[in-house]
Structure formats: C-alpha cells, structure tokens
Structure 1
Amino acid sequence: MYRKYFGLKELPFSISPDPRYLYMSDQHREALAHLVYGINSEGGFVLLTGEVGTGKTTICRCLLDQTPEDTNIAFVLNPRLTVEELLATICNELSIHYPEGNTSIKVFVDHINAYLLDAHARGRKTVLIIEEAQNLNADLLEQVRLLTNLETNKHKLLQIIMLGQPELKNMLSRTELRQLAQRITARYHIGPLSKEEVAAYVNHRLSVAGAWNKLFLDSTYGKLYHLSKGIPRLINLICDRALLGAYVQGKDRVDKSTLVKAAREVFGEPGFRKYRNLFRWVLAGMALIGCAAALTAIYYNYQTQPLAVVTSPPVQQAISTRPVEEGSGLLQWDWPADEPIYRSEGLAYQSLLKQWGVIYKPNNGSACQQAMTQGLSCLGARGSLDSLLHLNSPAVLKMFNDQGRVFYVTLTAIQGQTATFIIGNKTKIADVKDVALRWSGDYTLLWRMPPKYQGSVKRGDQGPVVQWLDRKLALIQGRKAQSGENPLYDDILIKQVKNFQLSEGLVPDGIVGPQTLIRLNSAVGTGDPVLVDRRKGK
C-alpha cells in the first residue's frame, strides 16, 4: 500500500528470508563463514544458534549462493518427525528411491549409504541442513549422529549443519548427547544487533528496496533499538507498520510517535505494556547481577592480586579510545551551502583518488576508469563501519541530509571515537556513532591490484598473480615462497588461502577475489592509504 507513496521498488521490511536483504553485520559475516567452512570441511557437525528472528534462515539462504557446484544439499525444514519420517525426508530431498511403504530404519540407512558412496565416487559432497533443530528429540539426535558414521577410510560422507534456537545448545550439553557434541567441528551463536547496527540495518534494507530519501528520522533509531531489542524480525515488523502509519498520516518520514504507535500495534496494547515492563525488569536484574559480580571481582582482586590492564583487538581499539570534540558530530553539519549538491559525488571521488596520489581529471573518464590506469580498482559494496574497519581503506560513502537528499563524502581516517571526512573541499570530524544515522551503508573504495590481474583467482590458475599470491602468503605465514616463475594455484595453496580467509572473518571458499586481496595487502603492509594506522600501537 505504501510502496508507491514512498517511491520504493518493493516492500523493504518483508519477513521472508531474501538473501538480497541480508545485512552483513560482523556477527552475520562470521556465521556465514562458519557455514561455508562446514560445507568445505571433511565431515562432522556445524552448529548455528540464535534467538527467534536474528537471521539464521536468511544466512542459510545466502549460503546457497556460496555453495560449490559439486555439492548436494538436503533441507529438513520441520524436524518434528519420527526417526522413520526423518530418514524418508532425507531420501526425498536427495531423490533417493526406496521401497514404497517402507518403515525399516535399516533399509532407509542402507539406501542413504549407497547414495553417499556413489556421490563420493563422483567427487560430490552431500550436506544435510536441519532448521529448527531445537525441536529434535533425543532419538532423532542420536539417529542424526549415527548418519555421520557413514564414511570411507579417509572421509566422512555426510556433512550436517544444524540451525536452532539457544535451547539447542542446552540440549547438546546433556550427558547422553556428549558423543554428538564432540563431533561439532564449528559452532556460532548470533546475538541481536547493536544500537548502531539497527540504524545501518534499516538504511540497508531501504536502499535495497530502492529508497532515495531518508524515511526514518534520526531520533527514531534509538527508540527502535529499545523496542525491538535488536532482533531483525521485530525491526522488520515495527518498521513495516511504521511506514504504513506514516503513509496513512500523510507524512514523508517516520517520526518517534509514529514508531511507538506502530510498536503498540505489532505487540498489541496489553502485550506492549507487558513487553516494556518485562524489558525493564530484565535490565534491572542484569544491573543487579552486574553490580554483584563487579563488587565480588573488586574485592577478590583487592585481596589477592594487582590490577591488570586488559587490551582489546585492534579493530575494537580503533573505535573506543579518544573522546569526541564538542559540536563535532555528523549531525552538526551538512553539505556546504556554497556548493551545488549534485557536485558532491565528483568531489568525493576526487578526494578519494587524491588519497592514493592520483589526480582526478573530470573530463577524462570516470574515477574508477582513471584509477585503473594506475593499477587500482574500485570496490563498491554495502556494509557497516566495522566492514570498512576490516578493509581498512579510505572510502566514498553515500549519505542523507536532513531533507533526505543524497550526497557523498570521503571517509579518510578513524581515530578513537571519531571519523575524519572530506565533505566538498572541507575536512570535518564526526562521532562514529552518528555515522549510521546519515549513511545508507553504500560505499566505494580503491584497492591495489596484483600484477596482470584479470579477475578472481581460482583452482588451476597460473601466472604472475599466483606468484604474487604465494609470496604474500609466505610473508604472512613465515615460510619460503615457491620456486619458479609459474606456480600453480593448487590444493596446497588453496588450503593456505582458506586458512587466511577464515582468520580474517571472510568466507573460506578459496577463491581469491577483491576482499581477500585487500586483506592480503593490508596484512603485509604495502604503504597504501589506510583508515587506521595500527602500526602506531606497536
């Protein structure tokens, strides 16, 4: 109903698991990496848990886009089954023929085993994905475990991925299920989004749906976080109802009162009060527990040991140290009045090229074309500030002003709680917490290409790019590079790349694309411009 009113191509807050709308927070990126690792590993279990509505199913759908072509996948969507029904479902998913009316567990298992052996002989992997796995009873879990006993002398024939709510973790901690728990090779738990991620999440979904204007006032994001507790599905429900409310009221954007009214309609008036009171009690309980734990820890430390200094990982340090200058927040400034806003994109790319020592010539092709002549390439994507911190490279960001109009800025540095931008021809400093309130999540950055780079490096490739890749990995891993001028991108090198990708929180698929190449450049230190100079802390 409101789609045409706001100029959207489609509804942005549908609760269907569409991979295009997946907002890749650091948690979701790591979760996807664990699933891809599970598919590419040599058998066993992969466990992904999270509260209702945190995005487990959407990540699973996204996984299908990352699945190697030599993989057969069986989905079990409703595991409230008997053992016989579960085995029949697996057979149906994999198109395994079995005698009509069969109820023998042995017959099902024998047919599945024969199928797995044949698939293995043809060089294919088989993966079983079980959703809502917290609904599996003890008998079903034991049968699932027994399926992983199907193996050759060297390889497991079946990889199993289980997705479920937090109680699944509790189930697997039971003594009688310890054999299954010991076979879990990778596990990850998805928590709710942070307050800053909620704003980026909303802007991301609006951008995918074709929004060109800012449809939520900045003041609504904090309230939305508290109402939804950071759960993506609740965010979708509230935002969808809020946009409908804004449409009915003839408003061009959602304000706080419209958002609160939408939440009441989503939760129901009595439920809304119950939810709000429950949330307050939870916070109070957490505060009391926290205080008790803190007092206990202080007393213990005072009695037994000196104070210790705790250091954080580099990325977290980068956004947690220096206080912000008063009045320097992103909300305090806008596109300069003396510059036409349509020039913002050209000026932003001019500033980005300047960071790399390239002079931008307006009538000499696009900025990305000019960068190519200097051995650089553009990478355009959507993400969060954490995504950019991991890539650690200056970038052009697509922003919205108070009127919802689009303009572009260049992010050049992050230090402590502040981010440095070039807006027009002026340098500004902003609080990193405010960035998500004005940023659509779209960014473009530059990265340095390896010699003779023609595209992603894949199994069987040879040439200068593979030689460059081997030398970079050798520096990182402290080993000698391969001899010869024409090394092959073989299984050994692919395994080293996968290990590097996993250590960097990337999908460990062994394909060397822009994201992996950027991380390699950053890891070895090429002297290229960075957002955070982590060498200063060394």
Structure 2
Amino acid sequence: MSRQEHHGCWIKSDHHAECVDFLCREVFNALKIPEIMLVSRKAGHRLYHYNKTNSYTCIYPISLRRCKVWKMYKPYFGFKERPFKLVPDPAYLYLGQSHEEALGHLNYAVRQGDGFVVITGEVGTGKTTVCRMFLEKLDENTETAYIFNPKLDSLQLLKAINDEFCIESSPDNTKDLIDILNRFLMEKKKLGKKAVLIIDESQNLSIEVLEQLRLLSNLETTKAKLLQIIMVGQPEFGEKLDSFELRQLEQRITLNCHLNPLTLKETGEYISHRIQIASHKNNDLFTKDAIKEIFRYSGGVPRKINIVCDRALLCAFSRDVKKINRNIALLAIQELSGKRDPRIGFFELNRKPLFLLAGLVLILVTLIVYPHVDLKESNAGPKHVEAVVHKILVPPAEEVMVAEQLDDTRNAAIEPGTETMDTHPAEERPVVTIGREDLKTLLQEPDAKHSRNTAMKIILDLWQAEAGLKSFLQEIEDHKEFFFLAAKQNHLSVQKIAGNLSLVKNLNHAAILELYIGNDPMPRFLTLVEMKNDDLIFEMEDRRVRIAANDILPFWKNRFYVIWKNIYGYTKEVQIEKNGNSVLMLKRHLQEIGYCDIVLNSVYDNSVKDAVKDVQKKYDLEIDGVVGPLTEIALYNENKSLVIPRLRKVL
C-alpha cells in the first residue's frame, strides 16, 4: 500500500475485499486524517467515513478506486468553504417567502412585546437557522435567552432560563427562581430594555412545562409584559397546543407562522445563493435538470437539499467533472438512497408475484364492488371478464370521488352564479381628474405609514375581509412585513412585484402602488382599483381620483403589491411533483377556464404543463409551466365566475 499526495490522499491496494476494512483503518490511524471519504475504482472496495469521534463507518461497497480527503473538493470547485454544511450558519441564510414571514413575525413580536409567538415547520425546513438569524439582528437593548434542548422538567427549565440570562440559578425551588427572574426583568424594563425567551424544539416540552411557561407570561407591569416568549417546533407542537389541557396557553398566542419547504424556483435560488457565499462569485454549477432532480428528491427541505448537493459535489469531484448535471445528481441521490435507483421502489420486486398479487386484488375488488357479478357462470369467458374489468377501471372510482370532493370544496369557497365582485364600492363618489402637480400635493399630505394603512384598508374592503386591519398591525414599521401580516390575518395572500403598468393591467387585480416624492426615501401608497384606456383610477378615503398613466410614472419605481385570495388552496408552486392535492385542484381550475380535455387525477402531465404555459404566454409571464404566485393570480383572473376585485371586466 502506498501514499501519494495528488489532489488528496490516495490508497491503492490489490488485496481482497475482506482485507480492505483492516487496511483502511490502519491508514486512517497512520495519516491522522480528521475527515475522509474512501473512493475506490475497483469492485469490492468500500466507501468509508472517518469522523472526529475516532469511529469508522462503512457506507457501502462502490466501484471506485482512490481515497481523497473530502475537503479537497473545495479548491477543485473554487470554494472558500463547503457550501452545503448542515450547521445553521446565518451567513448562508436564504429566505423563502415563508421564512420572510417568520422573521417578520419575530421582529414584530419583539417590538410589541406581548403574547406568545409560535413558529412551526417540518424537520429540516430552517427553523433553527431563522432563529439564529433573528438573534444576530437584535440590538443591545434586547436581552435574550435561547433554550435549544427543552427536554427538561419545570425546575430545570427555570434554571436554564436564568442561566441564559446570566442570573442566579442555584435555588432548587420554583418560587425563588421566578423571583430572581422577575427582579432581573424589572431592572431591564427600567433601563428601557426588552427580554426575549426563545425555546427551540418545543414539541419536546411536556404539558407541565408548557403550563409553567404560561405562568411566566404573567410577569408584567400594569402596561406591558416583561418577557416575550417565542416557541419554535415541529408541526406536532401545534397539535399539542390544540389540546384541552393547554387551552389557556393557546388563547395567549398572538402570532402563529408555519415554515413551508422551498418551491422549485426557491430551491434553485437557494443552491445558487450558498455556492455564491462559499465561492464569492456567481457560479451556475448546477444545471436546471439537476436542480429539478434534487428538488424531486428533497421535497424542498433545505437540510435534504444540503445533503444531496454535498454528495453531488463529491461525486463530480471524484469523476473530475466541473458541472453538476442531471446524471451526477441522480448518482448522488442513488448513493443516498442506499445504492439503488430511487425511482424503482416497489417495482424492484419480482414481477411474477407482483402480477399474481394484482390479479387477486382485482378479483377481490370485483366481488366487493360488483357482488352481482357471477364469475362462475359458464359463459364468463374473456369478453365477460374484460367487460367487468372495464366497468371497474372506467371511470376510476377514486377520480369520481375526488371530483365530488372538489365540487364540495369549490362550492364552499365560491358562490355560484356570481360573475364579478363589486370592486368599486364607492362608485357613487365623484371621480376627480388630477394632474402631475396635484398628485405631488396629494402624496405629500399623509406620511408613509398613514398612506400604507389607508391603502391596505381599502384593499381589505374590496375583498370584503371580515377581520379588517387590526390596530396593532398599523404600528409595524417595515412595509413589506406589514402587508404580509395584514394579508395573513385576513386569510389572503400578497406578493410584492417588480414590473411595469402592462403587468399590472395583465394581472387584473386591484393593486397597491409604491410611490415616491422627489428625493424623499419614504414611500407613499395608493390603491389602484380601475384602469380605463390610459388612465388609472385610485380609491382614496373620501374620493376617487383619475390620473393619466404618464403622470404617475415620475413617482413610481415599478414596484407594487397584489393581494389575492388563494381560493383553491394551492400550498406552494404546483409543478411536476408530489403535490397531489394542489395538482387536482389545478386540473379542476383549468377545466373551468376552458381546458376541457384535461383528465382529472393527481398527475401533473404534459397537458397540464401546456395549459399552464398557454396561460403564462397570454399574460406575458415567464413560460416555465410552473404555477407560482403570478401564474396563480393569472389563473384566478381567467375564471370569470370567481369573486375578485378586478381592474377591468374579463371578456
């Protein structure tokens, strides 16, 4: 066995596979390599991972022949550090839409300082990373305690909280610990400081500990809470809060946010973002097809994306390939899936038993669903059996059931026979035509926050939102955060869009335009409710104004907000993926707007993709066959029966 220094450390051996395990261990000990992957080009050699606990893990036999230090792929790809490490490094934080909402909730909670905040999300969706990013952005006027291992009883939790706040935690009784904490919080309050407690992995908290946390929220003055509590956990934590025992705690939760996995588009942006941070330059290292395969495997979960991307880079490095294409991505996925094609699954089984099982199931279904069919009849020949099978398979019972469910869902969400919403509730008001100078004067009257709040109130009135605009939301400083939270409180969606007036007109939803006066950095907001020829009509508190498009352009930087209602309940970008319910709803939606040849099932097939591309082309959107926010808005506008505040009638 020899050692060479060439793009890493090589191990060459002609010994039988049984000897390789021992030989590799000896080499690891001799070289004292802290982290290593064995890669072998000869059948029978094995892939090893040596970690800092001095343990060796044989991953699986592979067909490679050399051993390279894992970290050697960094200079190969030009990285300063590994881009897909699993540690929650805030420097690598990429904010998807739901992550932005979560950060908005956290920032708002600190400013308001009352009630509980709950952030939930599946394993690996970035909850801890968002928390760390939030903590890093807090100023010196905020004291924080971060509990990341909450498998504690009530007494241990109180001690841990006091430890995190760097105050005395030696007493072994609850009362003394709470008294010490209360004095600390009162002192900080007098100094104008805030105190925030964040508990990660909250799903591990017992009901007893959660009740203790509720009691901690009683630490308060006559005007404000002394401690802001933020709980972060997996979805089952939300289910626990719904229990009867925790009804008092549940009533104190003022903000609740769920972190969704990344969409396909966000996955591509996430991968590019991490590579850019690690290499300090833009690098299209992963092809679009590779990103699609990674998204299909990971489901948009950041942690799984990191794992498969890291493995893909290693696979490419071991083959001297500089680009991660679809084949490299599939190879990485195959390795992570246990050395088998992840697409094969159940059908790897011997086909003869499979077909036999299918036949038995078919007969059983026939006897249950069609008890009147007598399979013992002498004339039950091939044609008779074929007829029975045809009756079972056409139409599929599942699809009929799904169609009925969709009908019920749609009827509950949409009022039949209603062609359009009253988008102009104040149409009786006179429409005043104003020019550029009048508009400048008009924009100077309110401040940014007042114009923003007014614009949102008008939009909510157009959508007939029952909750309206809560008073506590009106004090939020960040405008984007305000729009997201105000929409969410009213079960609406919002999208900030960069585009021209043609895009505003195409999307055909009442919109809020972000306007600026001269060099004033603070924006003003107006609600656009109608477009007629080259004129824009805005709804004000007490009147409506008509402005020529050319007069609005000097004040507008092509940024606007569209608020819409997700009537069909799309959970994320709908594409060729696992999102079965959303695909079913999308197909029904497409049927209703004229694509009648689409078959109602949960498969995102070419007919759906072509129909979506057709809508995208009509609305001058990016033609990719993916239903993102803008395409979703366009699809809702296409459906003439939906109750929507439109800028113009759909012909």
- When normalised by structure 2's length, the TM-score is 0.49
Q: Distance in 2 between matches of 1:66 and 1:308?
A: 51
Q: Deviations over 1:117-160 (max 9, x none)?
A: 11112111111000000000111111111100111112111110
Asked if 1:294 corresponds to 2:403, the answer is yes
- Per the alignment, in what secondary structure is the counterpart of residue 504 of structure 1? helix
Note the 1:427-446 alignment, pairs <5 A. Answer: none
Q: 1:150 to 1:276 in 2, by over 3 A?
A: farther
Other-structure match for 1:307: 416
Q: Distance in 2 between matches of 1:66 and 1:493?
A: 22
* Amino acid paired to 2:283: N
- In the alignment, is the contact (CA less than 8 A) between 2:202 and 2:232 conserved in 1? yes
Match of 1:234 among 301, 304, 308: 304
Q: Distance in 1 between matches of 2:481 and 2:413?
A: 39
Q: Deviations over 1:286-326 (max 9, x none)?
A: x99886343234279789997367999xxxxxxxxxxxxxx
- Per the alignment, in what secondary structure is the counterpart of residue 234 of structure 1? helix
Other-structure match for 1:167: 236
Alpha-carbon offset, residue 276 of structure 1 = 5.7
- Per the alignment, in what secondary structure is the counterpart of residue 252 of structure 1? coil
Asked if 1:65 corresponds to 2:136, the answer is yes
- Per the alignment, in what secondary structure is the counterpart of residue 558 of structure 2? coil
Alpha-carbon offset, residue 69 of structure 1 = 2.8
Alpha-carbon offset, residue 74 of structure 1 = 0.3
Note the 1:217-366 alignment, pairs <5 A. Answer: 217-269=287-339, 273=342, 292-298=401-407, 307=416
- In the alignment, is the contact (CA less than 8 A) between 1:50 and 1:165 conserved in 2? yes
Other-structure match for 2:97: 26
Q: 1:240 to 1:37 in 2, by over 3 A?
A: same
Note the 1:348-387 alignment, pairs <5 A. Answer: none
Q: Distance in 1 between matches of 2:252 and 2:283?
A: 50
Alpha-carbon offset, residue 505 of structure 1 = 3.2
- Per the alignment, in what secondary structure is the counterpart of residue 209 of structure 2? helix
Asked if 1:49 corresponds to 2:120, the answer is yes
Q: Distance in 2 between matches of 1:302 and 1:73?
A: 48
* Amino acid paired to 1:62: M
- Per the alignment, in what secondary structure is the counterpart of residue 37 of structure 1? helix
Q: Distance in 1 between matches of 2:412 and 2:167?
A: 66
- In the alignment, is the contact (CA less than 8 A) between 1:50 and 1:190 conserved in 2? yes
Q: Distance in 2 between matches of 1:62 and 1:300?
A: 39
Q: 1:80 to 1:298 in 2, by over 3 A?
A: same
Note the 1:442-481 alignment, pairs <5 A. Answer: 469=448, 472-473=451-452, 476=455
Q: Distance in 1 between matches of 2:344 and 2:199?
A: 31
Match of 1:117 among 186, 200, 203: 186
Match of 2:252 among 183, 196, 201: 183
Q: Distance in 2 between matches of 1:170 and 1:276?
A: 32
- In the alignment, is the contact (CA less than 8 A) between 1:245 and 1:258 conserved in 2? yes
Q: 1:296 to 1:105 in 2, by over 3 A?
A: same
Match of 2:558 among 514, 530, 533: 530
- Per the alignment, in what secondary structure is the counterpart of residue 416 of structure 2? coil
- In the alignment, is the contact (CA less than 8 A) between 2:118 and 2:230 conserved in 1? yes
* Amino acid paired to 2:407: I
- In the alignment, is the contact (CA less than 8 A) between 2:219 and 2:226 conserved in 1? yes
Other-structure match for 1:153: 222
- Per the alignment, in what secondary structure is the counterpart of residue 156 of structure 1? coil
Q: Distance in 2 between matches of 1:277 and 1:310?
A: 48
Match of 1:39 among 79, 101, 110: 110
Asked if 1:200 corresponds to 2:309, the answer is no
Asked if 1:505 corresponds to 2:533, the answer is no
- In the alignment, is the contact (CA less than 8 A) between 2:451 and 2:525 conserved in 1? no
- In the alignment, is the contact (CA less than 8 A) between 1:148 and 1:159 conserved in 2? yes
- Per the alignment, in what secondary structure is the counterpart of residue 2 of structure 1? helix
Q: Distance in 2 between matches of 1:499 and 1:230?
A: 28
Other-structure match for 2:435: none
- Per the alignment, in what secondary structure is the counterpart of residue 269 of structure 1? coil
- Per the alignment, in what secondary structure is the counterpart of residue 498 of structure 1? coil
Larger radius of gyration: 2
Other-structure match for 1:144: 213
Alpha-carbon offset, residue 104 of structure 1 = 0.7
Q: Distance in 2 between matches of 1:298 and 1:169?
A: 29
Other-structure match for 2:374: none
Other-structure match for 2:51: none
Q: 1:290 to 1:33 in 2, by over 3 A?
A: farther
- In the alignment, is the contact (CA less than 8 A) between 2:452 and 2:525 conserved in 1? no
Q: Deviations over 1:228-266 (max 9, x none)?
A: 011000000100110111111001101222112212333
- In the alignment, is the contact (CA less than 8 A) between 1:470 and 1:493 conserved in 2? no
Which piece of structure 1 moves more, 523-532 or 114-123?
523-532
- In the alignment, is the contact (CA less than 8 A) between 1:7 and 1:211 conserved in 2? no
* Amino acid paired to 1:21: Y
- Per the alignment, in what secondary structure is the counterpart of residue 85 of structure 2? coil
Alpha-carbon offset, residue 205 of structure 1 = 1.3
Other-structure match for 1:78: 149
Alpha-carbon offset, residue 494 of structure 1 = 11
Other-structure match for 2:286: 216
- Per the alignment, in what secondary structure is the counterpart of residue 73 of structure 2? coil
Q: Distance in 2 between matches of 1:214 and 1:296?
A: 43
Asked if 1:129 corresponds to 2:198, the answer is yes
Other-structure match for 1:488: none
Percent sequence identity over aligned pairs = 36
Q: 1:36 to 1:533 in 2, by over 3 A?
A: closer
Q: Distance in 2 between matches of 1:517 and 1:57?
A: 36
- In the alignment, is the contact (CA less than 8 A) between 1:36 and 1:66 conserved in 2? no
- In the alignment, is the contact (CA less than 8 A) between 1:8 and 1:211 conserved in 2? no
- In the alignment, is the contact (CA less than 8 A) between 2:115 and 2:228 conserved in 1? yes
* Amino acid paired to 2:194: K
* Amino acid paired to 1:197: E
Q: Distance in 2 between matches of 1:471 and 1:504?
A: 13
Q: Distance in 2 between matches of 1:75 and 1:300?
A: 42
* Amino acid paired to 2:321: K
* Amino acid paired to 1:189: H
Q: Distance in 1 between matches of 2:152 and 2:130?
A: 24
Q: 1:175 to 1:474 in 2, by over 3 A?
A: closer
Instruction: Give unmatched runs, 5+ long, in structure 1.
Output: 279-286, 313-449, 451-463, 480-491, 508-514
- Aligned residues between the structures: 359
Q: Distance in 2 between matches of 1:505 and 1:23?
A: 18
- Per the alignment, in what secondary structure is the counterpart of residue 130 of structure 2? helix
Q: Deviations over 1:489-534 (max 9, x none)?
A: xxx9996453845332389xxxxxxx99879346468522527797
Q: 1:172 to 1:121 in 2, by over 3 A?
A: same
Which piece of structure 1 moves more, 240-249 or 62-71?
62-71
Alpha-carbon offset, residue 172 of structure 1 = 0.4
- In the alignment, is the contact (CA less than 8 A) between 2:142 and 2:193 conserved in 1? yes
Q: 1:111 to 1:465 in 2, by over 3 A?
A: farther
* Amino acid paired to 2:558: V
- Per the alignment, in what secondary structure is the counterpart of residue 216 of structure 1? coil
- In the alignment, is the contact (CA less than 8 A) between 1:472 and 1:524 conserved in 2? no
